[in-house]
Amino acid sequence: MALRNGVSFLRLLTLRQSARLLTTHTRPELQNGGKLAEFPGAKAPYVTEMRFLDETSYDPIPIYRVLDNSGEVIDRNEEPNIDNDSLVNIYKTMAQLSQMDKILYESQRQGRISFYMTNYGEEGVQVGSAAALQPQDLVFAQYREVGVILYRGMTVTELVNQCYGNHEDPGKGRAMPVHYGSKQHNIVSISSPLATQMPQAVGAAYAFKRQANNDRIVICYFGEGAASEGDAFAALNFAATLDAPVVFLCRNNGYAISTPSSEQYRGDGIAARGPALGITTLRVDGTDTLAVYNAVKKARAFALENNKPVLVEAMNYRVGHHSTSDDSTAYRSVEEIEKWTKDESPIQKLKLYLERKGLWSDEEDKAWLKESRDNVVKTMQDAEKKQKPHWKEMLEEVYHDMPPRLQKQMQQMEQHLKKYKEHYPLNQYQSD
Amino acid sequence: MSGLVTNGSVLLTRFVSRFNGCTKRLSSHFTYFPDNGKPVEGETTKMNMMQAINNALDITLKTDDSAVLFGEDVAFGGVFRCALGLQDKYGKERVFNTPLCEQGIAGFGIGLATAGATAIAEIQFADYIFPAFDQLVNEAAKARYRSASQFECGALTVRAPCGAVGHGGLYHSQSPEAFFSHAPGLKVVVPRGPISAKGLLLSCIRERDPCVFLEPKILYRSATEEVPDVDYTIPLGKAQVLREGDAATLVGWGTQVHVLLEVAEMAGTNLGLACDVIDLQSILPWDEETVCNSVKKTGRALIAHEAPLTSGFGAELAATIQEECFLHLEAPVARVAGWDTPFPHVFEPFYLPDKWRCYQALVDLVRY
Ligand SMILES: Cc1ncc(C[n+]2csc(CCOP(=O)(O)OP(=O)(O)O)c2C)c(N)n1
Ligand SMILES: [Mg+2]
């Protein structure tokens, strides 16, 4: 965010220096003896030169990276200290995710599940960030963060059951596919309306802050599209003013369905909003799993230590269609997609890195991909055989205790089903 | 119009066509009854509801220079393709994407209308209209009243796809008409098919009050009719009587009209009874006269809607019917609706006020 050419002061906000570095070059046109004005709303110097700022007044916020495209560490000092097992686990989770996406996407095409969304191209942001968190941290996700969910320990079986909405779905078949959630793994159940999770994440972080010996932060994932919602601004501003230990992780993948980021915002992306609101901010290469890991690890430590928010903008590309309801060739070129699949695949980059370190090989890769695929296919076959929850689950848990009116409605439906059972797919659902 | 149909590689077409797939597995939720009558004479073209809406938007952009069309993903046609081809035809200044922000879309539309433009805003799903609730309920609805007609935003129309599709779950299925029916100053309209969609949408766009136009998205592709080519409107605030009889009055709107038309057929076949079937079309203001005249004739009323029972718009109809038709009623007014729960994904077949639930309610009503 350095102000370009000859501007009066320079603010550096980096994670390394948690304190702000304010360099006030004493410039002749500073009035009032350089003394800052003391308006309640701004402490700033007076000047006599009228200068409007615009998006070219600032240098673009740089993109932090650790690996180059061939999986080589660019600056040895930045190589994270991750033990070998964890490194392999990160990679395996990313590869597993990609295989799961392929099969479940296809299964939607075959009419086995009603809907699906893939994570292609964003595996690195998801798993790299998840690896930098602690199990006790609370996750508020958007929907394209399945790598986070897998890494935190939800099993492929649980996820597939959710997509099928069978009786083993922890969400009891009530939500559309990919709306996962797990109390056990500290993942708040995903809700479709965009950005609603963001102010909620801040409130949760505030509650953590007030707990004795707090060792938890909140991480809040959101897309660059969702960042246009009013809730997104509310969340950032609340987090800043109420000093909440929350890490905002924006997945900037270039698109919100068909809308390119160039029609979503002007200025320097989502990261630029951080310093403007007084939030410590970093932009990172989202295709570089290690860079994301470093970023989130530091961000987490900073948030916890200072009880302050951090904004991380991870730059990447949505390689897949928005969802099974979308065909992205209607609004972007195949060449554009290819560019990002070929050179910028996070999975490929991390694989090359692991190979350089002698931690992974092509044979191991082949075996793991096959194991991952077999696992998903087997799980799907099982999930398909499982019945959906009892229809009465439809009316449960609307309230803590079922109100009489809802009890009456349940009785009405029960009566109705006695008489008209042949017209309802009761055999697909559990029964009394 | 043929260009519209051939582009099959499009967003959410499958959202809807998958439903058709689902009907094979699940029991079918409704059968579409095309309109036989024509609102105007002249040439017609076979259109589905998406194409009829596209046609109404096209007519508006062609005939009204001030008109603009906008919303999330509208530039490439919108996720349901209702704006398909219109940016190519009318340019990026008139048909465009907005940032992803429903409160922004509604407020921007109010501003456009305040300054003399015709504003047609698309909210991607009715389930996502709630961030815009403040702008619509506190601003659009009250602009004329609070300024004593110095300002108004009647040239605003907000379109949003609503209703069940077979697999939409909590947030791609809702029917929020009742929320907006509680905001004096707004007009709320729901079409039942291509012919009614074109005429009602053109009315909304030209109406001097801000309108919320809720489009049952299951009908976009599954409902096809011969739609008049000319520019025509269907009056707001007026219901349509689609079938006539003396046994009972069945009232619905949107997709539910088709459920009730089938129930009326079942009553004819199984019970030898003929019913009035009324498509309310306009939720706010609604056609008290047509509904009450029918109930005075039949003495029995059944109202059905997808939205939850409690405080659904059926409650308003029932209250007015008992007030206006009390001495004519042979039975309490019956309501069949979604249960008082969020809209559930895998339980949709049990949630909806389907033909069996409506039929049984009708049997109870006539045997009361
Ligand atoms: C309030 C709201 N408005 C609209 C939608 C429909 N919708 C679902 S995803 C999406 C695009 C989101 O884009 P982005 O936040 O960039 O996430 P990405 O899909 O790129 O991961 C839209 C418009 C929604 N779910 N919620
Ligand atoms: Mg995006």
**Cβ atoms within 10 A of the Cβ of A365, count?**
17
Phi and psi of A337, rounded to 5°? -65, -45
CATH, domain range A76-383: 3.40.50.970
- Bridge partners, residue B187, by sequence: B211
Centre of ligand 2 from the C-alpha of residue A212, in Å: 37
For chain B, give the percent of residues with pLDDT over 90.
91
Answer whether B145's CB lies under 8 Å from B113's CB.
no
Gap between the Cα atoms of A143 and A163, Å rounded? 13
List chain A domain ranges.
9-57, 76-383, 391-428
**Minimal-distance CA residue to ligand 1 atom 17:** A223
Q: What helix, strand, coil percent values describe chain A, rounded to 5?
A: 45, 10, 45
CATH, domain range B240-367: 3.40.50.920
Centre of ligand 1 from the C-alpha of residue B100, in Å: 7
**Residue A2 above 70 pLDDT?**
no
Q: Which among A189, A184, A186 is positioned nearest to A162, based on CA atoms?
A: A189
Is A323 tagged catalytic? yes
Asked if B133 has any chain A CB less than 8 Å from its own CB, the reply is no
List chain B domain ranges.
44-228, 240-367
In tens, the pLDDT along B330-355 reads 999 999 999 999 999 999 999 999 99
Q: Which of A118, A178, A194, A258 to mutate to test the pocket of ligand 1 (most atoms within 8 A of CB)?
A: A194
Count of alpha carbons within 13 Å of A209, Cβ hemisphere only?
Answer: 20
Of A114, A327, A393, the CB nearest to B167: A114
In this structure, what token pair is assigned to residue A354?
A: 């692991």
In tens, the pLDDT along A404-417 reads 999 999 999 999 99
pLDDT tier at B28 (50, 70, 90 boundaries)?
low
In this structure, what token pair is assigned to residue A183?
A: 């109390």
pLDDT value for A32? 79
Contact state of B310 with A405 under an 8 Å Cβ cutoff: yes
ipTM for the complex? 0.93
pLDDT value for A27? 54
In tens, the pLDDT along B85-112 reads 999 999 999 999 999 999 999 999 999 9
Q: How far is A264 from chain B (nearest CA, A)?
A: 5
Asked if A192 has any chain B CB less than 8 Å from its own CB, the reply is yes
Q: Please give the average per-residue pLDDT across B40-66, as a whole number.
A: 98
Q: Is the dihedral of CA B89, B91, B92, B98 positive or negative?
A: negative
Of A228, A394, A424, the CB nearest to B100: A228
**Residue B10 above 50 pLDDT?**
no
Do domains B44-228 and B240-367 share one topology? The answer is: yes
The domain made up of B44-228 has a fold known as Rossmann fold (3.40.50)
In this structure, what token pair is assigned to residue B38?
A: 């024509």
Answer whether A169's CB lies under 8 Å from A206's CB.
no
Q: Please give the average per-residue pLDDT across B67-95, as a whole number.
A: 98
pTM of the shown model? 0.93
For chain A, give the percent of residues with pLDDT over 90.
91
Interface test with A, best of B76, B347, B357, B363 (most A CBs within 10 A): B347
Q: Which among A306, A235, A301 is positioned nearest to A274, based on CA atoms?
A: A235
Pocket around ligand 1 at a 6 A CB cut-off: A 144, 192-194, 223-226, 251, 253, 255-257, 318, 322; B 72, 100, 102, 124, 128, 131
In tens, the pLDDT along B149-163 reads 999 999 999 999 999
pLDDT value for A30? 79
Is B102 tagged catalytic? yes
Centre of ligand 2 from the C-alpha of residue B3, in Å: 29
Q: Please give the average per-residue pLDDT across A292-304, as a whole number.
A: 98
In tens, the pLDDT along A357-372 reads 999 999 999 999 999 9
Query: With the CA atoms of B260, B263, B268 and B274 taken in that order, what torsion angle do they form, in degrees rounded to the nearest 10?
Result: -30
pLDDT tier at B32 (50, 70, 90 boundaries)?
very high
Mean pLDDT computed over every residue of chain B? 93
Contact state of A406 with B357 under an 8 Å Cβ cutoff: no
Instruction: Check B29, B122, B152, B172 and give the catalytic one.
Output: B172
Q: What are the DSSP calls for A133-144, one per residue? A: S-TTSEEE--SS
